[in-house]
Amino acid sequence: MADYEKPLPRQADPALTQPFWDAAKRHELILPRCTKCSRHFWYPRQACPHCLSQDWEWTPASGKGRLHTFTIVRQPQNPAFNDDVPYAYAVVQLEEGVRMVSNLVDVEVPDGVAIDMPLEVTFDDVTEEWTLPKFRPA
């Protein structure tokens, strides 16, 4: 069987998003926070989606949240993930009020996965260059 490489993040705008990936590499979760209205937002973008201010900064996040919704992947679109199935593809509601797409780890799939379960971030060093934030039961 052929070896398939898992795809890595492709940044549309590295100047905008590199701080997030640098923090992930340090096993820190950071989020954009508007300095005008003080609200967090996700994903990173030029202007705050709440008040359109372009003044925002990266701020440390708690890494805590709850499972907003999920699906169990049993048949991956990319064969590089064949050995991972079944796995939980999740939308995580963070304490800061934003939702982040990730995977659940350290959980029995599917029986251990439930809507609203408390989660905490963990970091998967997938290569020397890339670390992906993932979530596990808290």
Structure letter (DSSP) for residue 123: E
By CB under 5 A, is residue 47 in contact with Zn ion? no
Q: State both tokens at 13.
A: 């705008």
Identify which of residues 54 and 127 has a Cβ nearer to Zn ion in the complex.
Answer: 54
Minimum CB distance to Zn ion smaller for 48 or for 107:
48
Q: Are 91 and 70 in contact (CB under 8 A)?
A: yes
Q: Which stretch binds Zn ion (CB under 5 A): 1-9, 16-24, 50-58, 97-105?
A: 50-58
Binding mask 77-116 toward Zn ion (x if CB under 5 A, else -) reads: ----------------------------------------
**Subset of residues 53 to 72 that bind Zn ion, contact rule: CB under 5 A:** 53
Quick check: 106 and 137 in contact, CB under 8 A?
yes
| Residues 73 and 87 sit within 8 Å (Cβ to Cβ) | yes
Cis omega (within 30 of 0) on the bond before 118? Answer: no
Q: Which residues bind Zn ion (CB under 5 A)?
A: 34, 36-37, 48, 50-51, 53
